Amino acid sequence: MSGSDMISQLELDKPEERRKPKKSVNGVFWIILLNLGLYVADHVFQVRSIKSLYLYHNFPAWYQFVTAAFCHANWNHLSSNLFFLYIFGKLVEEEEGNFGLWLSYIFTGAAANFVSWLILPKNAVSVGASGAVFGLFAISVLVKMSWDWRKILEVLILGQFVVEKVMEAAQASAGMSGTFIGGYSVQSINHIAHLSGALFGVFLVWLLSRVPSQPPKNKALNLREKRDKTS
């Protein structure tokens, strides 16, 4: 047996899980850069057109439900969201891939903004990735749910950390007032977006779980069958 044949045979004998290539996690960094870029254009270079991406509750444009999830009112608002976005976005992308991350971010962010538009006053403005971040948190917990004790421990650590931060934000919000942009009120902490983003994250996982998927073909078995036919 030649050296190339031995290597091929070893590759065939490896378990399918070991030979599966690792998914890249570049998508979360592009989302972070997009949030940072819009913030710099809005607050540093004062590009007026960025304000049109905010979600104005009195008369919203359809695209604002999505674009508002990439805009932020101030640096503290942005930095806290980016911290959680990196953690949970990376977890989701590792499990579901680049497309799954973007789908999760846009779907939960837009859904959270839609619920905020339905409930908050008409003089309010919704901006920020909070709804999408909480959606990513819910999705990252659900996709990692298994009886593996290491994954259960990881979920418990992430869960208690997020709940603790939400409680701190709720306590701090009592002494925080909204800022104003052109006569519109921008609430400092939008708990409606947090809760609805998490709920829609759960809904998205449930919805995708109902989609039938074909079992992956055993590539090693197919290669063996081809080799047997040619030999």
Determine the 3-state secondary structure of 70 from DSSP: helix
116, 130, 140, 196: the active-site residue: 130
Determine the 3-state secondary structure of 219 from DSSP: helix
Tokens read off for 1: 């047996």
194, 209, 213, 231: the active-site residue: 194
Per the annotation, the verdict on 194 as an active-site residue is yes
DSSP per-residue codes, 135-195: HHHHHHHHHT-SS-HHHHHHHHHHHHHHHHHHHHHHHHGGG---EEETTEEE-S--HHHHH
Give the integer Cα–Cα distance in Å for 92 and 87: 9
Dihedral of the CA atoms 60, 197, 77, 145 (nearest 10)?
-160
Residue 120 DSSP code: S
**Cα-flanking dihedrals φ and ψ of residue 186, to 5°?**
-110, 110
Query: Do 92 and 101 contact (CB within 8 A), yes or no?
Result: yes
Q: Which residues are catalytic?
A: 130, 194
